[in-house]
Amino acid sequence: MNPQRPETAAASAPANGWAIELEKINKRFGAVHANKDIDLKVQRGTIHGIVGENGAGKSTLMSILYGFYTADSGTIRVNGTQHAITDSRHALALGIGMVHQHFMLVDNFSVLENIVLGAEDSGFIKPSLDRARKELDRLEAEYDLEVDPDAIIEDISVGQQQRVEILKALYRGAETLILDEPTGVLTPKEADDLFRVLRTLREQGKTVILITHKLREIMAITDSVSVMRQGEMVATLETAATSPEEIAELMVGRRVLLQVDKGPANPGKTLLEVQNLVVADDMGVTRVKDVSFSVRAGEIIGIAGVSGNGQSELLESISGMRDQQAGNVLLNGQPLSLEGDDGAARARAAGLAHVPEDRQRMGLVTTFSEWENAILGYQDSPEYGAGALLDIGAAKQAAANHIKLFDVRPANIGLKTSLFSGGNQQKIVLAREMERDPDVLVIGQPTRGVDIGAIEFIHKEIIKMRDEGKAILLVSVELDEIRSLADRILVMFDGVIVGEADPATATEGELGLMMAGINNKTAPRGLGIAEQGPLP
Amino acid sequence: MSARRPLPRWADVALLPAINLALAFLVSGLVVLLVGENPFHAIQVIIYGAFGYGDGFGYTLYYTTNFVFTGLAVAVAAHAGLFNIGGDGQAYVAGLGAVVVALALDQTHWLIAMPAAVIAAAAVGGFWAFIPGWLQAKRGSHVVITTIMFNFIAAALMVYMVNRVLKPASTMAPESATIDVAGRVPQLRQFFSFFGYSPVNLSIVIAVLALIGVYILIWHTKFGYAMRVLGANPTASRYAGISNSRMIMITMTISGALAGMVAINEVMGVQNRLVLDFVAGAGFVGIAVALMGRNHPIGIALAALLFGALYQGGQELQFVIPGITREMIVVIQALVILFTGAMEGLFRPSLERAFMLLTPEQKAEAIAVSTAKSES
C-alpha cells in the first residue's frame, strides 16, 4: 500500500488547529471491514476533499462522524476534545452539519419553514419564524447565500435547494460542514456557484469536508485531499502538490487513462439523420425547436449543453420514447415511424439502440434479476422464444454472455439489478444495447455516477463501436467527456443547436459561451459548419 | 440509516403469513373469549367443519373455487401495476353470459354447454373490466376509481336484467329461468359420494387450469414479461417499446375474464339459475387472497383454501355454538383479512431486523449494498 505522505503523516498541529481528528477508526459489518484503521485530520478553516470509488468506505466514515454509526474502535476529537458521538443531534451540538446527497426538505414548505423545522424554540411557530428570519438575513449576508425565505421549496431550483440545506446546517450552528457528492445534481453553473459559496465559508473560518468522486472538483476547490480505497485511507495529500493522475491511481490502485485513446474518425455514409425535429415535454412546453443534424457511420457526434436545454427530449424522441410534434428521423435513409407508445420497438427493429440517460428509471427494471434485464427491449425478438412463450434459457445465455464480455461484477445473472453498483448497472445496459450490433447507438450520460475504472472501460467500448463503423450520438453534461470522445460537437441551448465545434481545436471557453447561448461566430442550427473549418 | 436486507424467500412466503395468521387467530380467540365461549372449542369446530367430513370439505372447496378465480383476477392485474377492485362486478355481470348460453344450450350436453358458457362468461366479465382499462389507457382515469364504480353499475344493471329481461313471467322471485339438468356443470358428488350434498362442482377443474395458466402467462410468456415490466417500471416499459396502453387494456380484460369464472361455479354449478347478488363479496375476498398469496398461483391456491375453510368453518360454528352469532363469524373473517391482507407488512421490519441479527453475513451484505448506493 502507499505510505502516507510525510507532510501530513507526522504533521504537528497547524496554527489554526484541527477541526476534526479521527484516529484508528475501525468499523466492521460482519465480514465486511468497511473502515480499517482510518486516520483523518482536517485543519480548521480549510476545504478537505475525500475521494474514493464506490464502496471505498467514504460514506461509512462520514456516517461515523455524523453519528449514524458508532465505530467499533478508534477515537474522534472535535476541536481537540475527545467525544463519543452517539447520534446526529449530538454531532450537530458539536458543530458538525451534513448536507446529504438527496435533500431532506419538505417540498411544499417555504424555505424559512424548512430551516426552522426541528429547531423551533417553543410550541408556537410564529416567534421561531420571526427569529429565524432575522438570523437567516444575517447568514445570507455573511456567506453570500441568497435565497428568498418565503419561496416554496418545490418552486426553486436544485441549486437553491442545496443552499437551503447549507443554511439549515449553519442555522443550527455548524462549524464543520460535510457535503456528500454535492454536485451530482447540479448544472455546471450551479456547481460554480456552490464552489463560490464554499470558498466564502472557508474565508469565514468554517471547515468543509467534501465527499466526491470527481477529480476536477477536488483539484478546483480543496486545500487537501484524502484518498480511500477498499476501506483504507491510502493517502492524504496537499491538493496543490498533486495531480489528477496521481489521485486516480491511488483511488483505483493501478494506472488509469484519464484521456481517451482514440485514432482519427473515418466517417462513411450518413446513418442517422434528424430533420427539423420539434419535441415538447410532458407539460406541453416545446423543448426541442426545429433541430436538424446527421450522424455518419464511424463517427461520434457529441451534443454538449447545460442539462435541461432539450437534450433529454431529443434523445427520447429519436429513440421512440416521446412523441414528436414535427420533423423526421431517418435511419439509413428510411424514415422511422415513431408514433404511438411503442415507437421504441420500431426504432430498435430498424437498428437503433438506446442507452438512456437514467438507467435506473428507464434502462433497467431494478427489481428484476440481471438476466431479465438482459432482454429488456428485445423481449419480442425470435431468439428469446418463438411465438408467445419466452425462452428463459436463451435469455440467461445472453445474460451470461453480456456479463462475460463486459466484465460485470458480481457475475451473477440471478441477482437483482438494484444490487449492482452504478458502474456495473451501466455495463449491463451497454452490453445489452451494444451486443445487438445496431447501426446507430444513441447514448445519454454514459458515465453518470460511474466510478473511474468503469469509465475507462465504457469509453473504450464506445470508441470500439465507432471504429466498427457505427454511428454514435452522444449526449453528456460532462464537457470533458464530450471533448474527449466526440469527433464533432454540437452545442444545444434552449432547444436549438447553437453551434458546432471541432473538439481538437475548440477551447472550453468557446464551448462554455455557446452553452450559455452566446455565439456570434456560427450560424444558428450549426449545419455545415464543419465544412467551413474549425473554429478560430 | 436503515440498511435492511429483504427477507429470505421462505420467510417471506411462509413465515410472515403464518405469523400474521397466528395473530389473527389470537385476536379472534380473544373475541370469542369475550363473548364467553371457549376459543379452543371454536377453532376445533372450524377445522372439523371445514375439513373433517365430506360435506364440509366439499363446501370448503366450493368457496375455494370462487376465491381462486377472484384472487387470480386481482393478481394478474397487480403484476401489471393495476389494482382491480372490480372483481365483484365483473363476476356478477359475467353471470349474464353464463346464464344466457346455459339456457340456450341446456337441451344438449354439459360438455357443450360448459365450454361455451366459459367463453361467454369470460367475454362478458372481460368486457366489464376492459372499459375501466380503456378509460385508464386512453383517458387517464384510474382503474381503482373506475372499477369500484363499475361494481355499482353492475349491481344496478343486474337488478334490471334479472327483473325485466331474464325473469320468466311465471315466477315471482327475482331470478332467471332454471337451467335444465343437461346444461348444468356436474357436481363432484355425482362421481364421488364422499362429498355428500355439497355443491362443489367441475368448475374446480377450471380453477386448477386457471392457476396453471396464470403461472405460465406471467413467468413464461413474452406477454407476461411485458406485463411485469409495466408493473415494475412504466418508464422502462416505454423504453422497451412496450405499448403501455395496449398492455393495460389486455391485462384488465384477462383479469375480468378470470373473475367472470365465478359465474360458472355459481350459476351453472350451484344455483342453476341467475339470482341477485350471487357473487356475495367473493370479488373483495379475492383482494385479500391475492395479497396473502403474494400474487403467485401457489400462494393464491393456499390462501383461497384458507378463506374457503374460514367461510365453511364459520357457517358450521354458528350451528354448533349458538353463542357465536353470524356477526361474530364476520368479525373473525374480517380479522383474518385485516391481519393477512391490510396489515400484511406489519411484522416485516422487525422480522428483517431479527434475521439480520441472526446472520451477520446478511447484515454485512445489506450495509454494503446501501453504502454502495449512497455513494454512487
Please give the residue that has the higher pLDDT: either A143 or A76. Answer: A76
pLDDT at A13: 64
CB A311 within 8 A of CB A475: yes
Contact A59, B374 (CB under 8 A): yes
Q: What φ, ψ does residue A398 adopt, rounded to 5°?
A: -60, -45
Q: What average pLDDT does range A497-517 have in this prediction?
A: 85
E strand segments, A370-485: 440-444, 471-475
Instruction: Give the three-class secondary structure for A101.
Output: coil
Q: Alpha-carbon torsion A103, A109, A110, A113, what sign?
A: negative
Amino acid identity of A483? R
A535 grid coordinates: 473554429
Min mean pLDDT across A81-85, A297-301, B370-374 is at B370-374
Query: What's the order of all strands across the beta sheet hosting A286-296?
Result: A286-296, A270-280, A324-331, A334-335
Omega cis (within 30) before A14: no
Query: A363 in contact with B at a CB cutoff of 8 Å?
Result: yes
Using an 8 Å CB-CB cutoff, list chain A residues near B236: 361-365, 376
Report residue A12's pLDDT band, with 50, 70 and 90 as the boundaries. low
Burial readout B231-255 (b: 16 or more C-beta within 10 A, e: otherwise): bbbbbbbbbbbbbbeebbbbbbbbb
**ipTM for the complex shown:** 0.83
CB contact, 8 Å: A20 with chain B? no
The CA angle B157-B162-B167, to the nearest 5 degrees, is 160
Whether A46-57+86-252 shares its CATH topology with A270-362+422-531 is answered: yes
pLDDT, tens digit, 9 for 90 and up, residues B24-41 = 889 999 988 988 889 999
What was the pLDDT predicted at B365? 56
In order of A115, A183, A197, the CA distances from A158 in angstroms are 16, 10, 15
User: Which residues of chain A from 241 to 280 reach within 8 Å of chain B, CB to CB?
Assistant: none
How far is residue B144 CA from its own chain's centroid?
A: 16
Structure-block grid coordinates of residue B235: 418508464
Cell 396502453 identifies what position? B245
Distances (CA, A) of A15 to A43, A45, A78, A207, A473: 9, 11, 16, 14, 53
Quote the pLDDT of residue B5.
62
Partner-chain contact B368 A32, CB within 8 Å: yes
A46-57+86-252 classified as CATH 3.40.50.300: yes
Other C-beta atoms closer than 10 Å to the C-beta of A339 total: 10
In this structure, of A450-459, B104-113, B193-202, the range with the lowest mean pLDDT score is A450-459
Stretch B162-188: mean pLDDT, rounded? 90
Grid coordinates belonging to B115: 365450454
Residue with cell 325485466: B164
Using a pLDDT cut of 90, give the percent of chain A over it: 44
A55 touching B (Cβ < 8 Å) = yes
SS (H, E, C) chain B: CCCCCCCCHHHHHHHHHHHHHHHHHHHHHHHHHHCCCCHHHHHHHHHHHHHHCHHHHHHHHHHHHHHHHHHHHHHHHHHCCCCCCCHHHHHHHHHHHHHHHHHHHCCCCHHHHHHHHHHHHHHHHHHHHHHHHHHHHHHCCCHHHHHHHHHHHHHHHHHHHHHHHHCCCCCCCCECCCCCHHHCCCEHHHCCHHHCCCCCECHHHHHHHHHHHHHHHHHHEHHHHHHHHHHHCHHHHHHCCCCHHHHHHHHHHHHHHHHHHHHHHHHHHHHCCCECCCCCCHHHHHHHHHHHCCCCHHHHHHHHHHHHHHHHHHHHHHHHCCCCCHHHHHHHHHHHHHHHHHCCCCCHHHHHHHHHHHCHHHHHHHHHHHHHHHHC
Nearest CA to A129 out of A151, A114, A147 is that of A114
Distances (CA, A) of B77 to A513, B67, B236: 52, 15, 18
Of residues B203 and B346, the one with the higher pLDDT is B203
Name the residue among B222, B238, B375 with its Cβ closest to that of A58: B375
Q: SS3 for A264? A: coil
Q: Which of residues 100-119 of A touch B (CB under 8 A)?
A: 101
| pLDDT tens readout for residues A144-193 | 888 889 999 888 877 888 889 999 988 988 999 999 888 866 766 778 88
Q: Which residue has the higher pLDDT, B7 or A514?
A: A514
User: pLDDT tens, A27-56?
Assistant: 887 667 888 999 999 999 999 999 987 767
Domain ranges across chain B:
1-37+323-376, 63-297
Q: Tell if the CB–CB gap between B376 and A449 is shorter than 8 Å.
A: yes
Residue A320 contacts B where some CB pair is shorter than 8 Å: yes
Give me the CATH code for the A270-362+422-531 domain, please. 3.40.50.300
Distance (Å) of CA A413 to CA A407, A454, B218, B231: 12, 19, 20, 21
Residue in chain A nearest B243 by alpha carbon: A342
- Mean pLDDT, rounded, for B80-92: 96
- C-alpha torsion angle, residues B239, B245, B246, B248 (rounded to 10): 110
Per-residue cell: A225: 485531499
Contact A51, A251 (CB under 8 A): yes
Contacting residues of B for A101, CB less than 8 Å apart? 374
**B241/A342 Cβ within 8 A:** yes
Tell me how close the Cα of A410 comes to any Cα of chain B, in angstroms.
12
pLDDT at B42 over 60: yes
Instruction: State the residue for C-alpha cell 395479497.
Output: B291
Grid cell, residue A450, equals 460511474
**Nearest alpha-carbon partner for B251 in B218, B220, B299:** B218
pLDDT score of A431 more than 70: yes
Q: How far is CA A342 from the centre of its chain?
A: 29
- Domain coordinates in residue numbering, chain A: 46-57+86-252, 270-362+422-531
Q: Give the integer Cα–Cα distance in Å for B234 and A321.
A: 12
Q: Which residues in A lie closer than 8 A to residue B226 (C-beta atoms)?
A: 379
pLDDT, residue A346, reads: 93
Q: Identity (one letter) of the amino acid at B84?
A: N
CA distances from B372 to A25, A53, A224, A422 (A): 20, 9, 24, 8
Angle between helical axes of B54-79 and B87-105 (0-180°, round to 10): 120
Interface mutation target, options A379, A396, A421, A443, chain B, most CBs of B under 10 Å:
A379
How many other CB atoms are there within 10 angstroms of residue A487's CB atom? 23
Distance, CA of A462 to CA of A406 (rounded, Å): 12
- Who among B226, B242, B361 is closest to A31 (CB)? B361
The alpha-carbon gap from B231 to the nearest alpha carbon of chain A, in Å, equals 10
- Beta-strand ranges (E) seen in A424-470 are 440-444
**pLDDT interval class at A2 (50, 70, 90):** very low
The DSSP bridge pattern shows strands A18-29 and A96-99 to be unpaired
Secondary structure of A197-214 as H, E, C letters: HHHHHHHCCCEEEEEECC
pLDDT category at A281 given cuts 50, 70, 90 is confident
What number of other Cβ atoms are within 10 A of residue A500's Cβ? 26
Q: Please, where are the H alpha helices in A66-124? A: 88-93, 111-116
Q: What share of chain A is helix, strand, coil (3-state, %, to 5)?
A: 35, 25, 40
CA of A148: how far to CAs of A157, A340, A504, B74, in Å? 12, 43, 43, 49
Q: Which residues of B touch A344 (CB under 8 A)?
A: 238-241
Establish how many alpha carbons lie within 13 A of residue A230's alpha carbon, considering only the half-sphere containing its beta carbon.
4
In the prediction, which pLDDT does B208 show?
97
A295: nearest Cα among A493, A511, A442: A442
Backbone angles phi, psi at B201, to 5 degrees: -135, -175
Residues of B in contact with A320 (CB under 8 A): 241
Can you give the pLDDT at residue A10? 40
Residues of B in contact with A348 (CB under 8 A): 241
CB spacing of A390 vs B374 below 8 angstroms: no
Cell numbers linked to B223: 406477454
Distances (CA, A) of B338 to B34, B71, B287, B288: 19, 16, 11, 8
Burial of B350 (0-12, 13-18, 19+ CB in 10 A): exposed
Residues 343-362 of A with CB under 8 A from B: 343-348, 354, 356, 361-362
Nearest by CB to B225, from A55, A58, A390: name it.
Answer: A390
* Mean pLDDT to the nearest integer, A437-464: 88
State the pLDDT at residue B374. 44
Quote the pLDDT of residue B237. Answer: 95
Q: Which of A61-75, A328-342, A415-429, B120-134 has the highest mean pLDDT?
A: B120-134
Chain A residues closer than 8 Å to B79 by CB: none
